[in-house]
Amino acid sequence: MFKNVIVRRPGKSLIEGITSAPELGKPDYELALKQHDDYIKALESCGVEVTVLESLEEYPDSCFVEDTAVLTPRCAIISNPGADTRRGESALMVDTIKKFYTDEQIEYIKSPGTMEGGDVMMVGDHFYIGLSARTNEEGCRQFKEALEKHGHTCSVVPLEKVLHLKTGVNYIENNNMLVSGEFIEKEDFKSFSKLIVPESEAYGANCIWVNDTVIVPLGYPVVEKSIREAGYNVIVTDTSEYRKLDGGLSCLSLRF
Ligand code: GLY
């Protein structure tokens, strides 16, 4: 179960965030703020305490806090983002993370290693890390070493198409995994019970499990139905403005 969540308010500079889908248009900042409010309410209704950090105008993508660290029951691993414009975000999370972890529990990914938390999926004590455009081989090596030091295990999953591992695959506990596109047939995930996400709803693969509730983005009815049929409580919340920046539900928080 998760007790804590960290989020960061989006700044007005959000509209300059990195995107692979400029055809979706720029985010509407006021609507993004409202969606962020709703996201926090959804999390709180799952019984977690939400720490809300101030916006950072100098970092347009800094509301996507998931990329700055990986927080486990035993340790915190501070990332080193692969995107140049995001590199400084991780250091700005450390003071907050120190409120929850001792210095001995905190590890750091260092250059030339790069790693973003969106590439990391936790399944109990085991962690999958995507080798991606943002997380390089040295980042994977350092991450595995840090996890093993604290008694976790790790395996590397090379990505072919998507930005981050959790863009396309998300574990929702009870051996259930939402899988889309390149992950549907991946050998690494063959032992899980798969909820297949159709290509037309690929963005909907990025759902988050929070204490037996699954938060699902608005507008993905096939995904929502399959999660309900698997027996979960579901909260639907709109992330349309974050989608314009390749951001999803998981990207917007650190859950631990
Ligand atoms: N816009 C989120 C990211 O590309 O990191």
Per-residue model confidence (pLDDT) at position 91: 98
Residue 24 CB less than 6 A away from ligand 1: no
Active site residue 126: no
Residue 81 CB less than 6 A away from ligand 1: no
Residue 119 CB less than 6 A away from ligand 1: no
Per-residue model confidence (pLDDT) at position 242: 98
Average pLDDT over residues 39-59: 98
Which pLDDT tens digit goes with each residue over 37-47?
999 999 999 99
Cα 172 from Cα 192, distance rounded (Å): 11
Residue 155 CA to ligand 1 center (angstroms) comes to 24
Q: What CATH number did the domain enclosing 26 receive? A: 3.75.10.10
Residue 130 CB less than 6 A away from ligand 1: no
Average pLDDT over residues 199-225: 98
Per-residue model confidence (pLDDT) at position 216: 98
- 19 Cβ contact list (under 8 Å, min separation 6): 244, 245, 246
Which pLDDT tens digit goes with each residue over 71-114?
999 999 999 999 999 999 999 999 999 999 999 999 999 999 99
Average pLDDT over residues 165-186: 98
Which one, of 157, 141, 12, 148, lies nearest residue 72 by Cα? 148
Catalytic residue among 75, 140, 164, 207: 164
Residue 231 CA to ligand 1 center (angstroms) comes to 32
Per-residue model confidence (pLDDT) at position 197: 98
Active site residue 63: no
Query: Taking the complete model, does pTM exceed 0.85, yes or no?
Result: yes
Per-residue model confidence (pLDDT) at position 160: 94
Q: Which tokens hold the place of 236?
A: 């639907």
For residue 64, give the ligand 1 atom closest to its CA.
2
Instruction: Provide, rounded to the nearest whole percent, the portion of the chain with pLDDT above 70.
Output: 100
For residue 116, give the ligand 1 atom closest to its CA.
5
Residue 23 lies in domain:
4-255
pLDDT band of residue 179 (cuts 50, 70, 90) is very high
Per-residue model confidence (pLDDT) at position 142: 98
Which pLDDT tens digit goes with each residue over 109-157?
999 999 999 999 999 999 999 999 999 999 999 999 999 999 999 999 9
Residue 18 CB less than 6 A away from ligand 1: yes
Residue 247 CB less than 6 A away from ligand 1: yes
Closest C-alpha residue for ligand 1 atom 4: 18
Q: What is the number of domains present in the chain? A: 1
